[in-house]
Chain A
Amino acid sequence: MKKRKERIDRGIKVRSSDVFALLSWREMLYLSFPRLLPIVGLVVLSFTLSIYWQKVLLSVSVFALLAISWDILAQSGMISLGQALFFGMGAYLSGIMNYYWGWPPFLTIPIATIMGGLISTLLLLPVLRLRGIYFSMVTLILPLMLVRIVEATRIFGGTEGISGLTPLPTRWVELYLIIIVLLAALFGFRRLMNSDFGLVLKGINDNDQSVMNAGINIYWFKAQALFIGGSVGAFSGAFMTHVYMFVGMPVFALDYSILPIAAAVVGGIGTFAGSMLGAFILVPLSEILRGLGGLRIVFYGLFLVIFIVVLPEGIFHYIQRKYHQFERWVEVE
């Protein structure tokens, strides 16, 4: 008597998703719990952690934002190997505006976000027409090149960078600003990708000829996705500039490119919550492993490889499956 594993959606999932007729508190809780978890969790953490770990939470949120930004690009068919490009762009722009023109953070951060997204999109526009690998290659190279430019031409502070920038008003403003933006990005991007606009983007990722065939200008859509993802990345950079009160060559470091990818791969590509989860796992882990110095990156590298080969769907998908479905053994007919 042979058996096979069968996976079925839970009743509560079926009742609560398509039909959307909620019959009990239990069902409402089932639906709202996953959504409330990050919100409540973040708020609670921000209060209960020590100052040191609050800084870590800050860092986690920044990387989570970068990971989410990576994820939306990936879902649209653009694999970025250089999130540092957006991060650094936003960082330098806000640093420059603050230092040379004396603009305060509440001006420089939004402007740097938009400008950073815009400039990055324009830079990458020519490669959107080519195969995906070109996009990856160019995004990998650009931040590395920009570092060397800054180093060589010594503009914008050169190797020393620009320091003495304006900080944000209080520690709490810092923390809550980034948490709010993170949650907004998380829920906002999910909404976006579930809408018809997002459907087109996913279609482009899946089968771009078919989308072209429907009379849709895929380059325009890709450019939009690029702008959206890039702006979020630029925000993280602009934000960090004012937290550290400094901007310099390190903003284009490989760390900012690799960790978001690792976070998304570990946590689950295609779900923004997964990318965030990945960041929440990897960043504290790297803090703890700080003592190992350079070996950290070895770990990221190995993590990346192991996860992409063994569990490409990521942890979050696994959790999602367990939450929404149950498995049982049935006889093979």
Chain B
Amino acid sequence: MNSPSLLMVSNIAKHFGGVRAVNGLSFELAKGELLGLIGPNGSGKTTLVNLITGFIKPTTGKITYKSRDITGWPSYKIVRLGVARTFQMVKPFYQLPAYKNMIIPLYSPRVKKMTGGKYGDRDAMALDLLEEVGFERDSFVAYKVASALPQGYLKRLELAKAIALQPDLLILDELFSGLSLAEVAGILPIIEKLRHEGKTIIMIEHRLKELFRIADRIIVLNYGEKIADGKPADVMENEEVKNAYLGSE
């Protein structure tokens, strides 16, 4: 057996009444991989992420993370093991300035664990993290209240909030949606840097061109099932994938 995978999803299924959002899905993720999760709308990508991060409980199936069975765990416990996610529809605390938004993840027991039992100067850490994702210090944009920030900054804030948790597995749900090409080009280096730091990343995306440039591996979902799993180039040649996205003739 090769080295244990970071994340193992076995036969996971989630039924909402009659709807099978996720239907018998299995895959393994090794440490350091950058996995792209794609598929038409409604194919179960976000549901899968919600299942992995503990926001919803699976109907059947098992999820193993760092060799521990985390099936059915509440989300805050899973985050403490080192999983962090961003939301497709960003969820900032709109009434607070950007750097205050960061205080809340920095108050997390996960951060306490990772910094060896002490919290440290949260305000300073907040500003540093925001600078890393592109909040230029000289413009003091980090002090602006979140409701006044444009989408590009809000997405970066969302990313910063996830990075603050020092995760080993980072899940980005449609980070690029709503961003201009320039903004995406600005964020890509940040993701590259995270990879170099050894983080494992799952990215749900619709913007395939940008995704394919950085992903090691692609999984395609359709109607809650996995229809392809492999290198980007191979996956795009797959007939079933083409039909799923473009519709059959």
> Bound complex: CA of A214 vs CA of B53, how far in Å?
11
Tell yes or no: B165 within 8 A of A by CB: yes
Residues of B close to A202: CB separation below 8 A: 93
- Interface flags for B68-84 (1: CB within 8 Å of A; 0: not) read 00000011100110001
* Known contacts A196-B122, A199-B100; is-contact A214 B105 (Cβ 8 Å): yes
- B residues 53-96 with Cβ under 8 Å of A? 53, 55, 74-76, 79-80, 84-85, 87, 91-96
Q: Is the CB of A199 within 8 A of B76?
A: no
Q: B87–A213 contact, CB under 8 A?
A: yes
- Interface flag for A168 (CB, 8 Å): no
Closest Cβ of chain A to B78, distance in Å, is 8
Smallest Cβ distance from B79 to chain A, in angstroms?
3
State how many angstroms separate the Cβ of A20 from the closest Cβ of chain B.
14
Which residues from A are CB-within-8-Å of B80? Answer: 215
Q: Are A216 and B103 in contact (CB under 8 A)?
A: no
Give the complex CA separation of A310 and B96 in angstroms. 25
Question: B165: which of A207, A209, A214, A218 is its contact (CB, 8 Å)?
Answer: A214
For residue B152, CB closer than 8 A to chain A, the reply is no
Report how far A196 CA is from B92 CA in the complex, Å: 16
Are B109 and A216 neighbours in the complex by a CB distance under 8 Å?
yes
CB atoms of A215 and B93 under 8 A apart: no
CB-based contact A215/B105 at 8 Å: yes
CB atoms of B110 and A215 under 8 A apart: yes
Interface residue range, chain B: 20 to 34
Q: Using CB atoms, name the residue of chain B closest to A197.
A: B107
Q: Are A210 and B92 in touch, CB under 8 angstroms?
A: yes
Picked from B79, B94, B100, B103, the residue with its CB within 8 Å of the CB of A215 is B79
Q: Would you call B95 and A214 a contact (CB within 8 A)?
A: no
- A184 and B108 CA atoms in complex are apart in Å by 28
* Known contacts A196-B103, A196-B122, A200-B104; A212 and B93 CB within 8 A of each other: no
Residues in A with CB closer than 8 Å to B92 are 207, 210
Instruction: Give Cα distance in the complex from A214 to B87, angstroms.
Output: 12
Q: Which A residues touch B104, using CB under 8 A?
A: 199-200, 203, 210-211, 214, 216
A214: chain B residues at CB < 8 Å are 79, 104-105, 107-108, 161, 164-165
Q: How does the 8 Å CB contact mask read for A212-244 relative to B, with 1 for contact and 0 for none?
A: 111111100000000000000000000000000
The distance in angstroms between the C-alpha atoms of A197 and B106, with both chains bound, is 11
Within the complex, what minimum Cβ distance (angstroms) separates B103 from chain A? Answer: 5
Instruction: Give bound CA distance, A214 to B101, whole Å.
Output: 11
| Chain A interface category by residue count | 10 to 19
User: Interface digits, B160-202 against A, CB 8 Å rule (1 contact, 0 not)?
Assistant: 0100110000000000000000000000000000000000000
User: Would you call B76 and A216 a contact (CB within 8 A)?
Assistant: yes
Most buried by B among A197, A203, A215, A217: A215
Could you tell me if B95 and A212 are in contact, using CB atoms closer than 8 angstroms? no
In whole angstroms, what is the CA distance A139 to B234 when docked?
60
Give CA–CA (A212, B109) in the complex, Å.
12
| B87 contacts across to A, CB distance below 8 A | 209-210, 213
Closest to B54 in A: A212
Most buried by A among B87, B91, B165: B91
- Contact in complex: A203, B93 (CB < 8 Å): yes
Q: A201 CA to B80 CA in the complex, in Å?
A: 19
Partner of A212, one of B75, B103, B107, B165: B75
Given contacts A199-B104, A200-B104, A211-B104, contact A217 B93 (CB under 8 A): no
Task: Say yes or no for A206: interface residue by CB 8 A criterion.
Answer: yes
From 7 to 38 in chain A, residues with beta carbon under 8 angstroms from any chain B beta carbon are none
Which residue of B75, B79, B107 contacts A200 across the interface (Cβ within 8 Å)? B107
B110 touches A210 (CB 8 A): no
Q: Identify the closest chain A residue to B109 (Cβ).
A: A215
Which residue on chain A has the smallest CB distance to residue B102?
A214
| Shortest Cβ gap from A196 to chain B (Å) | 5
Q: Which residue of B lies closest to A218 (CB)?
A: B76
Q: How far is the CB of A239 from chain B (nearest CB, A)?
A: 34
What is the distance, in angstroms, from A312's C-beta to the closest C-beta of chain B? 15
Q: Which 7 pairs from chain A and chain B are nearest by CB? A: A215-B79, A214-B105, A215-B108, A210-B91, A215-B110, A214-B108, A217-B76
User: What would 7 more interface pairs be, CB under 8 Å, given A214-B105, A215-B79, A218-B76?
Assistant: A196-B103, A196-B107, A199-B100, A207-B91, A209-B87, A213-B79, A216-B108
